[in-house]
Structure 1
Amino acid sequence: MRRRLGPAALVIAGALALAGCGGPDSESGDSASGSGNAELSVSSAYMPQPVSDEMAAGFFTVTNKGGAADELTSVTSDIAGQVTVHETVGSAMQEVKGLKVPARGELVLKSGGNHLMFEQLKHKPKEGQTVSVELHFAHSGPVEVEMPVKSATYRPTTGH
């Protein structure tokens, strides 16, 4: 399903474009070994401080050191009514049912590309706070990630 960006979404999209992508200075060492041969770890997690009271974005990298592929199928968080997984094609966000994590590869969620959308925020996270999320995969067990909230214009000094 493709959505046209409305005025609020355009403001958020602009903030996301300014946010950049996470790098090693965004520490989040959460990891989990899944069933089968997928060996997943999550790094560079962050959320730019939302500019809207209704929506926020999230970024991170999932690294798979194992010999079997996996797929990020959903995300949950207690701060949002729902968290959806998106890819960006041109200037259009597209919600997807899952994103592949290749064997011996990475799934990168970054500004301007694949990302999370936190919708129906229960409260607006502020810079310096941490948001807890749980990543769900097709084959591996859930992975809990602590996502630091950065400034709305945060640009990592290192990255992808």
Structure 2
Amino acid sequence: MHQSFRAAARAASFAIAMLFVANQSALAHGFEVGELEIDHPWSRETPEGARVAAGYVKIVNHGSEADRLVAVTGDIAGRTEIHEMAVDDKGVMTMRPIEGVEIPAGGEVELKPGGYHVMFLELTGRPKQGEKFAGTMTFEKAGTVEVEFAVEAMGGAQSHGGGGHDHGDHSSH
């Protein structure tokens, strides 16, 4: 009897530990597909009438082969594009759609204001602070994973690195 009590206690401890781990990953707002860790996909609240929004995320590749982010969706948008912001040789900030972003083996890439980011175009819903919206991220090798984008405050702590650049003219894409 004593041995079965210890086995039950161990099983209960294991179950409690697993609940703690599951709760921690829910708080961390992360997702995984293959060898890739997708950390905290987020967007910013948009003003009333906005037709575009941007999305950001950190992707860590724990594998020994590079992979490539090739597509992203968001249920708030009619279509999406992956964009790159860069400063040209004249010091002018430019933005353009790209075919994908390479995630190096054993490395990471952060889609963030002022760099690579996702553009949610033809908005069908308005992202509001404190809410989340569903989406997917598709990688060449790891495949597709369902994610949720957390919506943060307009102009919050993770503000644009591009000197207040907004995405107001993306409606022409």
TM-score by length of 2: 0.69
Report the CA distance between 1:46 and its aligned residue: 1.1
Deviations 1:64-90 (A, max 9, x none): 000010000011122101110001012
Aligned to 1:47: 43
DSSP-derived class of the 2:129 partner: coil
Q: Find the aligned partners of 1:155 and 1:61 in 2 and give their Cα distance.
A: 16
2:40–2:150 CA contact under 8 A, matched in 1: no
8 Å Cα contact 2:82/2:97 also seen in 1: yes
Gaps of 5+ in 1: 1-25, 34-38
- Displacement after TM superposition at 1:29 (Å): 1.5
Identical counterparts, % of pairs: 34
Q: Alignment partner for residue 79 of structure 1, among 76, 81, 84?
A: 76
- Write the distance in 2 (CA, Å) between the matches of 1:102 and 1:114: 15
Runs of 4+ in 1 over 2 A off after TM superposition: none
User: How far apart are residue 125 of structure 1 and its match?
Assistant: 1.2
How far apart are the structure 2 equivalents of 1:47 and 1:78? 13
Count of aligned pairs between the two proteins: 126
Q: Is the 8 A contact 1:53 1:123 kept in 2?
A: no
Q: Equivalents in 2 of 1:128, 1:112: separation in Å? A: 23
What is the CA deviation profile of residues 41-99 of structure 1, one whole-angstrom value per residue up to 9, with x for unaligned ones?
Answer: 11132101123520000110010000010000011122101110001012111100011
Between structures 1 and 2, the one with greater helix share? 2
Aligned equivalents of 1:128, 1:68: Cα separation in 2: 36
Q: 1:57 aligns with which of 30, 34, 54?
A: 54
1:66 is matched with 63
Separation in 2, partners of 1:40, 1:129: 25
Q: Work out which of the residue numbers 120, 123, 135 in structure 2 matches 1:121.
A: 123
The one-letter amino acid paired with 2:85 is T
State the superposition RMSD in angstroms.
Answer: 1.4
Indicate if the aligned counterparts of 1:50 and 1:57 stay in contact, CA closer than 8 A. no
Deviation at 1:116, TM superposition (A): 0.5
* Superposed counterparts of 1:1-160, under 5 Å: 27-33=28-34, 39-51=35-47, 52-90=49-87, 91-156=93-158
Q: What TM-score results when the alignment is normalised by the length of structure 1?
A: 0.75
1:53 and 1:27 map into 2 onto residues whose CA distance is 29
CA distance in 2, matches of 1:123, 1:71: 28
